[in-house]
Structure formats: structure tokens, C-alpha cells
Amino acid sequence: MASDQFPGWHGTTIIGVRKDGEVVIAGDGQVSLGQTVIKGTARKVRRLSPGGFDVVAGFAGSTADAFTLLERLESKLEATPGQLQRASVELAKDWRTDKYLQKLEAMLIVTDGAELYVITGAGDVLEPEHDVTAIGSGGNYALAAARGMMDSVRDAEQIARDAMAIAADICVYTNGNLTIEKIAK
């Protein structure tokens, strides 16, 4: 059932921060249905290791849809080891053209420690301009907070943590129970 047919599903906040050769992806743990918190400890950031090639991915949107996309991304990475951009573009092409995948409602932030992308169902593979990107219901709050901290002495993880804390204070669909994955190249 599409989210427009079942209003009340609200998302999450995922942020990706690249600074000083390290990338951190952090996500909150809240799953909400309408005004009810269903779960507060969901893991929306995962490490994928197809063929020994480490990639970190965070997702916002439908969990089942996101897992489908993560599986597809893993198979694309297995087919193109070490080529995150190519695998991401191939996933986005499939997502846009495959009738089954077109119905999936999720977004991904992915990184291999060097590259950082947002992948959408519209066929987009977006690279952030300022080494920070965020998705989900609290994404704009986290993005603005992180952008304001990028020139500080904070490292990537501290920026992600502090930005997520700000988002959790503002967005009712975001909590402070974080999953954080770091990767460096």
C-alpha cells in the first residue's frame, strides 16, 4: 500500500558527513505510525561488504523497500567491485525503469569512505556539494546543523552526533537513539 494511500507513516533522519578523510553515516532509531512510536531502536544504517569491499548505507522510508534496495545495491557492487558510483548509477537506472522497483518508497545514503551519494527512486545519484547530506523527515534540520559545524574543530562523527541531536529536538519523528558507522579511505 503506497504511503499516499496510508497517511501517517513518517520517517526518520539519516545524515552523512565527510571530513578529514573519514565519512560517518548516522541514523536515528525511531519508527512511527501516525502519532505513535512503534519502535525506538531500529537500525537504519548498515555496513555492506560485497566481495570484501566495504560500503556503508543508511535508509529512510519503508523498511521493506529499503532492504530490497540494499540487496540490489549489494548485487550491483558484486558485479562492479570497488566502483560505488557505477553500482549506484546502475541501481538508480533499475529503480527508475523497473515496474516493480518504481513502487519502492525509500531513499539511500551510501559511501565507500571516499564517495558519498544520495540515491533516489527518481533516478538520481546525488553527490553533496558541502560534504554533508541528509534524508528523511528530520533531514533538513540535521543538514542545516551539520553545515553550520563543518568549519569547527569537530570531527565527522561529532558533527553527525550533534546534528542528529538537533534534529531529534526539532523533528517529532526522530529520536536520539543513534546507529553510527564510520568508514575511511
User: How far, in Å, CA of 89 to CA of 92, rounded?
Assistant: 5
> Alpha-carbon dihedral of residues 68, 9, 1, 15, nearest 10 degrees?
-20
What distance in Å separates the CA atoms of residue 172 and residue 118, rounded to the nearest whole number? 23
Give yes or no: 63 in active site. Answer: no
Q: What are phi and psi of 176, to 5 degrees?
A: -95, 10
- Cβ(70)–Cβ(59) under 8 Å? yes
Catalytic, out of 12, 80, 111, 133: 12
Give the position of cell 519502535. Answer: 39
Q: Which residues are catalytic?
A: 12
